[in-house]
Structure 1
Amino acid sequence: MAKNAEKAIKKTTNKIARGADNYGTKRLDDNKHSKMENPLDVEYVNQVHVSDFMKALAYDPVKGVDTSNAEHISAWTDALPVRSTSSSSSSNKKQKKPSKRKLREQEAAKPKGISHSLLQYPLIIIIGAIMFVELVAYISLRQIVRIWENVFSWRGKKRTLRNKLRASKTYKEWCESADALDNYMHKDEWKKTIPFAYYDYRLLQKVVKHLKIYRQGDTVEDATKLMDVLYVCLKQNFAGIENAKLYSNTYLGTKALIEEYVEEVTRSIEALASNKHISNEEKKLAFKLYSKNYGRTAFCLSGGAGFGYYHLGVIRALLDRGLLPSIITGTSAGSLMGAIVCTRTDEELDQILNPDLSSRIRICQDSWPTKLYRLVTQGSLFDAEQWCREAMWFCKGSLTFKEAYERTGRIFNVSVIPYDPHSPPKLLNYLTAPDCVVWSAVLASAAIPGILNPVVLMQKKRNSTHLIPYNYGHKFKDGSLSTDIPTLALNTQFNVNYTIVSQVNPHVHVFFYANQGSPGRPVTHLEGRGWRGGFLASTIEQMLKLDMAKWLKVLRSLKLLPNVNDQDWSSVFLQKFDGNVTILPKSDLSDWLYTIADPDTERLKKLMSIGQIRTWPKISMISNRMRIEASIEKMRGLLRANANNKNNRAGRFNSHSDVETEKLSQSIEAHDAMNHANNSDAGSGDELVFLSRRRVSMPDGSFQHLQDKDFFKEQNRRRKFMAQFLDSPKEGNNSTQSSVLFDSHSDDSDAHSPPPSSPEDYSQQHH
């Protein structure tokens, strides 16, 4: 095993070095396409759709009247109203007071009590003062740790190697520098050493051994056992291999055993898909379960205003490595970057993802006097009509979510919240809002109070060139105010259980502190087992950060904070901002000057370069996850295509076995749907068919009807075989996998109704 480990290290390092091309430099150079039209010069503005959007903004869905010439009153606070008229009105109108209904709603939402009224603002002042002192102490501590590390931890040759790593222009250069740094710090020995507390290495060794044996075998028994072992190990964080600790001890790669495991699993998946001893219908069922159990990966782009252009570098790095997930979600600035990706093919992205893209970024082109005047008169710095025109290029015209999905195969998700402060956030995509126009969702997701007023979502109407309001014309605003990373909705709708987060929110990434290292950035002292700045500094950092969060929760729970512009701003700090992999920018104080500004070519080149460099350390961790997921989905797609071709040619299944397997699967699935209302992709019926499949359908086409006794005898036999590969919890294992071997319903609504475990239970359910 030691020899295999050493070979795996060399093989993986060489593979990464060979695969690392010069994209890092090439993509940041000027784009030259002399023979074809420059995609940056193409215009997508549709004046009819712009007019429809402005009419919808002027329509009041509550009163059912056009308010284009009426005065609108909003408020930063209850004591500071902002009065505005639409751009089409040139005359001054009478002051219009808020309606009685609005006043009653605001009054009903306020807590009552004499003590609350008396103590509200004194408590705000006291708690605010405490938090301010803690914030100053926190920032000071971080700077002290940074100076300490630069002076004492990075010296001599180690400092030279780190500077070379940071100065890398391409991924290939970065890999070579990271490998040299690992060699100097003796990290290669750690890679070769198999035992480690944060993953079940014994289980992985057993799985790798059996996969090799069954993959190389040429019998029906070998094929079935290969399918069974894959069923057990294709789970999220199997044996703890997705634990960030396994990637936080080196600059490049991880344990050789994990690299060997990923390689063997991908080979076994391909071998199973082409195995002649298993029928196509059985393969389809197996890969359906593999996909369900393994889950899917989503790429989440946070908000962050001008910091959002760091996303382009992250996207470029993942795209060049072929690691860009097909499920992408964006919020605020992230939705604009996500729209570029999800409305264009890889070839189109390859042409525009370069610094020349700055010529299309004209969102903040108005002068500051114009912005401030608009803020005073209309309550926002920017104009919705202007942003609508600019957003059409980023979204490639008025594509809907469904049209974007059909065009690129990418699932775009945008997080928004209704203007009503008590309504829950919504995740817009091709399932929840198929006909909704993407650019209107991007505008809504960027509608931060004071930056852009809430807007109406638009949707396409059949057999018409016009757009109509979505959701009866009610308005929406920035989703990052409450749900920057919509992990729960992604899991519910698309079975996403792994997220890659590009987090650029300036008020958030300052609080990320990996006190024991992060993937691709290990702690430099005590062989990677030390604490950044020492244990005392890490302790103080945690205490200060958690105490500030505590006071924010107190303010929110006691309803002490007044709503500014009808928005509770405490969620801006208290929601979940990270993922399984979190990519953070390396920003400085000068970036704050560009928070609300368009980047020029040089600045965009700098931001994209930093985004790429900050992504490269995470590539090893992302790659090991995505390689397995991509193999499952690729083989599943091939099996679907083969099945469709067979059905088109013959009009029926080629073998009697496939017919019977499909019938049994459909009958049990129907039973589950009736009793449990199970809407998941793979239900207990699929598992029953899978576990007893070998005697239901044979590859030679023969078929034997199973009695209940034989049905469960075969099922229990295969359970016992697969039990030897059971994943047991390990120290530091952040797996969400259930301890029950075949409980694939842990995330489903019918988790309390497991499959029948005996012939009697099965008979009772069916009779």
Structure 2
Amino acid sequence: LRWVQRAFNSYLGLVLAWVYLWAEVFHYWVLALHTWLARPSLQRELTERLHTATSYEQWYTSATQLDRLLGWEDWRHNPVSDLYDYRLIESRLERLCDIGITNDLTAMVFLLRSGLVRNLGGINEHQLFSRASHAGTKLLIEEYTYRVVNILEFIRQSDTLSIPRPLKASLFYDTRQCYGRTALVLNGGSTFGLCHLGVAKALWQHRLLPRIVYGKAVGALIGALLCCYDDQQLITLFQTLEIDLSAFLRVKRQGHLLRKLTRYFKFGYLMNVQVLEECIRDNIGDMTFEEAHRKTGRVLNIALSPQQNHESQLLLNYLTAPNVVIWTAACASTSQLGLFERVDLLIKDVQGQLRTWSPSLACEYSSSHWPSEVNQPNTRLAELFNVNHCIISDASLKNLPLFTWYTKFAPHWVRQLVRSTLGELLHQMRQLHQLCLLPTILAGFISRRVASNVTVSPSFTLVDLYNMYSRPTPASLHYWVLKGEQATWPRIPLIYNRCIIEFTLDNALDDFGKHSAFTRSKNHSSVDEVSKTEPPKRKRTQSFH
């Protein structure tokens, strides 16, 4: 009887095990079927949440849920990919971890200096941040970047005799020079340019706002705000979005379209520049490039095009035009689009009085005077400030649905047809541009995107096109700023991975009190005073004879 009972128990246990196994299999496939049936609706819901999020927290929550639904978290955990050299990154990460255990500062410095490149092994390629995941990239890449930043912080905070403080300062300065600098480039005119403020707000909230800012047209106006406001003023600005727009509000709205058309056909420009001058002056005052740099530590660059075709584009900053009043430079840059009338540049003399400076450099609107592709800011910024990477905020007409709808919803053959047609059209426009026959308003369409840069492109609707030249109001300002933020959030992981090491080096140099070649001390004398001082005497170098 005992033998029969043991056999029965064994048989019963085997049957129960099989029942449990098949119950688990059945439960798995029921859940898989439910997920497959509910996935399209849930995916559409999460995608809609991404596009309508009003804060980064809402966007990130929806992005992680969408990644989990689509199975992209597995892609992030798997380091293998043909898009980057994962073996190199694994090897360097292992060596960094080993050195971190021993706390050998000399070995840390040697290893970092030998491989501190912005795109080491292809870890910052665009496809690694856009092909699969919304919320990030390969965890191996994120862990490697995190480890490098931690080691840099450890070297900065360590208090040992092996690396003296002056040597640390020199080390961080030389490393930053080799690594390069990042600039925020603000492109795009008309009311669309208010999106630049949203891009800057999103970068500021993640501590990713570069210290070098380049702007033209409306981008120059936004850049002036960013570089004339100190950190506390920027915090208040981004929290409240309170900008003095009273100059625009005092203009009568009735008949505004007729006034603009009459002004354009009579004088060649659409809007009254006096209103723009009053608005920007109310917000930043009569501050010069030199004064703004001393106040904030940020570098404002405003581009102007010359009247003569053989001249190169003029880049105004605290090095090339220290005494030029910023609001005049910003208005002059905006007038080149044909929106406003011609503006002369003003400088502030020693007595603090404003006077005209080189009126011939204040350019008139002309299609032949728009800077060509070879005169883009990258080359000049690289020469002056060691810039090798740009975050481009592109708020141009290229982002209208007319140019973007086919990439999302059209069939494959339609996308191919539209792509080839647009390619041929751009080719013809570039030829007209070389012959100086292309209107200025169309010049922004032919600019080529550099693969090494990060481009943030807000999406616009046809309703936005209708309001393109409308006067700004507090309500519309909130609308455009949110559009800029929504366009920036998907780029945050890529921008963070590309810039966090550079900004860590910047913070270390600030702590050491050693500034870069383009950063002057706040106690430095003015340019006029420097020019009066006698240059230091140098001894004659001995010859070989």
Question: TM-score surpassing 0.5?
Answer: yes
- Aligned AA for 2:316? L
- 2:93 counterpart of 1:208: yes
Deviation at 1:427, TM superposition (A): 1.2
What is residue 431 of structure 2 aligned with on the other side? 554
What is residue 486 of structure 2 aligned with on the other side? 613
What is residue 508 of structure 2 aligned with on the other side? 635
Deviation at 1:294, TM superposition (A): 1.1
C-alpha distance after superposition, 1:539-558 (max 9, x if no partner): 3343222211222233345x
The answer to whether the 8 A contact 2:149-2:501 is kept is yes
Tell me the TM-score normalized by structure 2.
0.79
Compared CA separation, residues 504 and 443, structure 1 to 2 (3 A): same
Deviation at 1:482, TM superposition (A): 4.4
C-alpha distance after superposition, 1:383-425 (max 9, x if no partner): 333432222123x111011110111111111111123344221
The answer to whether the 8 A contact 1:361-1:599 is kept is no
What is residue 278 of structure 2 aligned with on the other side? 389
What is residue 425 of structure 1 aligned with on the other side? 313
- 2:464 counterpart of 1:591: yes
- Aligned AA for 1:192? H
What is residue 336 of structure 1 aligned with on the other side? 221
Question: How many Å separate the matches in 1 of 2:105 and 2:79?
Answer: 29
What is residue 365 of structure 1 aligned with on the other side? 251
Q: Which of 264, 271, 280 is residue 154 of structure 2 equivalent to?
A: 271
Deviation at 1:449, TM superposition (A): 5.3
The answer to whether the 8 A contact 2:337-2:441 is kept is no
Q: SS at 2:397's partner residue?
A: coil
Alignment of 1:288-687 (within 5 A): 288-353=173-238, 354=240, 356-357=242-243, 359-360=245-246, 362=248, 365=251, 367-394=256-283, 396-448=284-336, 450-462=338-350, 464-471=351-358, 473-477=360-364, 482=372, 486-507=377-398, 536-557=413-434, 559=435, 562=437, 571-576=443-448, 580-640=453-513
Compared CA separation, residues 344 and 412, structure 1 to 2 (3 A): same
- 2:138 counterpart of 1:255: yes
The answer to whether the 8 A contact 2:83-2:128 is kept is yes
Compared CA separation, residues 363 and 230, structure 1 to 2 (3 A): farther
Compared CA separation, residues 449 and 317, structure 1 to 2 (3 A): closer
Question: How many Å separate the matches in 2 of 1:438 and 1:594?
Answer: 27
C-alpha distance after superposition, 1:57-113 (max 9, x if no partner): xxxxxxxxxxxxxxxxxxxxxxxxxxxxxxxxxxxxxxxxxxxxxxxxxxxxxxxxx
Q: SS at 2:136's partner residue?
A: coil
C-alpha distance after superposition, 1:447-481 (max 9, x if no partner): 1354223321111111x232222236542257976
Deviation at 1:315, TM superposition (A): 1.7
Unaligned runs of 5+ in 2: 1-37, 516-537
Question: How many Å separate the matches in 1 of 2:441 and 2:499?
Answer: 36
Cα-Cα RMSD:
3.1
The answer to whether the 8 A contact 1:419-1:454 is kept is no
Q: SS at 2:243's partner residue?
A: helix
Q: SS at 1:456's partner residue?
A: coil
The answer to whether the 8 A contact 1:310-1:585 is kept is yes
Question: How many Å separate the matches in 2 of 1:453 and 1:272?
Answer: 54
Question: How many Å separate the matches in 2 of 1:411 and 1:179?
Answer: 36
The answer to whether the 8 A contact 2:382-2:388 is kept is yes
Higher normalized helix content (fraction of residues): 2
Deviation at 1:213, TM superposition (A): 1.9
Q: Which of 108, 121, 124 is residue 226 of structure 1 equivalent to?
A: 108
What is residue 4 of structure 2 aligned with on the other side? none
Question: How many Å separate the matches in 1 of 2:404 and 2:115?
Answer: 33
Question: How many Å separate the matches in 1 of 2:149 and 2:227?
Answer: 27
Compared CA separation, residues 338 and 210, structure 1 to 2 (3 A): same
Question: How many Å separate the matches in 1 of 2:174 and 2:245?
Answer: 47
Deviation at 1:240, TM superposition (A): 0.9
Unaligned runs of 5+ in 1: 1-152, 517-522, 524-531, 643-669, 675-764
Question: How many Å separate the matches in 1 of 2:174 and 2:219?
Answer: 32
C-alpha distance after superposition, 1:469-517 (max 9, x if no partner): 223654225797646962221112111111111101114666876999x
Question: How many Å separate the matches in 2 of 1:492 and 1:512?
Answer: 35
The answer to whether the 8 A contact 2:336-2:363 is kept is no
Question: How many Å separate the matches in 2 of 1:580 and 1:515?
Answer: 24
The answer to whether the 8 A contact 2:221-2:330 is kept is yes
Deviation at 1:158, TM superposition (A): 0.8
Q: SS at 2:340's partner residue?
A: coil
- 2:120 counterpart of 1:235: no
Question: How many Å separate the matches in 1 of 2:241 and 2:59?
Answer: 21
Compared CA separation, residues 562 and 274, structure 1 to 2 (3 A): closer
Compared CA separation, residues 173 and 562, structure 1 to 2 (3 A): closer
The answer to whether the 8 A contact 1:309-1:608 is kept is yes
| Stretch of structure 1 that moved more, 478-487 or 230-239 | 478-487
- Aligned AA for 2:89? L
Question: How many Å separate the matches in 2 of 1:515 and 1:280?
Answer: 57
Compared CA separation, residues 598 and 355, structure 1 to 2 (3 A): farther
What is residue 715 of structure 1 aligned with on the other side? none
C-alpha distance after superposition, 1:316-356 (max 9, x if no partner): 21122221111111110111111111110222122233454
C-alpha distance after superposition, 1:635-685 (max 9, x if no partner): 22323469xxxxxxxxxxxxxxxxxxxxxxxxxxx9xxx9xxxxxxxxxxx
Deviation at 1:434, TM superposition (A): 0.9
The answer to whether the 8 A contact 2:249-2:473 is kept is no
The answer to whether the 8 A contact 2:202-2:488 is kept is yes
Compared CA separation, residues 165 and 450, structure 1 to 2 (3 A): closer
Q: SS at 1:325's partner residue?
A: coil
The answer to whether the 8 A contact 1:331-1:414 is kept is yes
